[in-house]
Chain A
Amino acid sequence: SQYLPIVINTWFVSNATNAAWEELTVHGGSAVDAVVAGCSQCEASQCRGTVGFGGDPDENGETTLDAMIMDGYFDSLPPVAALRMVKPAIAVARAVMDYTEHTLLVGDQASLFAKDMGFTVETLTTNKSYIDWKNWIDNKCQPNFRQNVIPNPKTSCGPYKPKERIEQHLNNRMNFGISPNNHD
């Protein structure tokens, strides 16, 4: 087609588009190479603050990264999610594609795999994300995504425990009419 090759990406992050386009047209890379090159450029430059290290800190002040790479003939579908302590997330996803038959690698497993594959283990925290986290703590951990726990998540930080009512509710449900004779 006269319109190929092509690179398209969300937002106005044209440096990432350029990096992918060069991979395709100058370095003779594949489509997968191009997407990894483009997204890696975005991670390194922390595009718009929403890509790469230093994003929103979680309740422990850590930042996690999600990434995926997919090829159009499905021979490998290796996303990584909630990756901690390793910055080049899409390159880790590419390593999952190249060196495993895994699909989704999440959390510590993803970080351990990345470390095995020789990726640098380093904090993803920046001054900004640390200050954001400190401010969040000073603001009684507001906002957060907790519900039905004690202490009251709308006024206090954790650690949290489930509210008794939920346990009671579960117990009630457990006893209602279910017996070894009518439930496999």
Chain B
Amino acid sequence: TIGMIAIDKNGNISAGTSTNGLSHKVPGRVGDSPLMGAGSYAMNGAGGAACTGDGDIMMRFLPSFQAVMMMKSGMEPSLALKAAMAPIIQYYPSFFGAMIAVSSNGTFAAVCHGYKTFPFCVASPSFHEVKVLKVQC
């Protein structure tokens, strides 16, 4: 799966996913990626979030929607992601999954569970080229 969020210079936000579900989706069935609020979610003025990992578990909590709603209420992306991830970890402590989020002003974060670290990419005026960053899980 790839989950991606873009914010243009006018602050319009878009989120999207694409997957063939190689590692977690039941082959031939629908996974979490195309489900709004599960695979990804975007709201102008609030931010965008996207997920990857064991979608059959993550989708039950609509984590992308949760994270965007938290950012809409003013939470920083990293806290919003932790809050969205918390119930999943509580009910499925052995699941694998990761999330990214960016708020409408361009601050971003990533969170993960079940992996050691989780890599993600960012391109913005803060970096001269695309950056591959890692977050500790």
Q: Which residues of A contact B (CB under 8 A)?
A: 1-14, 16-18, 20-21, 24, 29-32, 34-36, 38-40, 42-43, 47-60, 62-74, 77, 79-82, 89-90, 93, 104, 106, 124, 145
Whether B33 pairs with A67 at a CB distance below 8 angstroms is: yes
| A2-B125, A59-B27 as given contacts; A8 in contact with B102, CB under 8 Å | yes
Whether B8 pairs with A50 at a CB distance below 8 angstroms is: no
Interchain Cβ contacts under 8 Å between A and B, 25 examples: A1-B104, A5-B9, A6-B122, A8-B100, A8-B121, A9-B100, A10-B98, A10-B118, A14-B121, A34-B6, A35-B4, A35-B16, A39-B17, A47-B2, A49-B22, A51-B1, A56-B23, A64-B20, A66-B21, A66-B25, A68-B17, A69-B14, A72-B14, A73-B44, A90-B18
| A9-B2, A18-B130, A31-B13 as given contacts; A66 in contact with B42, CB under 8 Å | no
Extra contacts besides A1-B104, A31-B14, A42-B18 (9): CB < 8 Å: A4-B7, A14-B132, A31-B7, A35-B5, A38-B6, A43-B18, A66-B18, A71-B12, A145-B26
Instruction: Kindly state whether residue B105 has any CB partner on chain A within 8 Å.
Output: yes
Give the CA-CA distance A20 to B4 in the complex, in Å: 9
- Across the A-B interface, how many residue pairs have beta carbons closer than 8 Å? 261
Instruction: Kindly state whether residue B63 has any CB partner on chain A within 8 Å.
Output: no
Q: Which residues of B contact A (CB under 8 A)?
A: 1-9, 11-23, 25-31, 33-36, 39-46, 48, 50-52, 98, 100, 102, 104-108, 118-126, 130, 132
Chain B residue nearest to A50 in the complex (CB): B22
A48 surroundings in chain B (CB, below 8 A): 22
**Nearest Cβ on chain A to B49's Cβ, whole angstroms:** 10
A24 surroundings in chain B (CB, below 8 A): 6, 8-9
Whether A72 pairs with B44 at a CB distance below 8 angstroms is: yes
Give the top 7 A-B pairs by smallest Cβ distance, nearest first: A58-B28, A55-B20, A3-B106, A79-B34, A72-B13, A72-B44, A31-B14
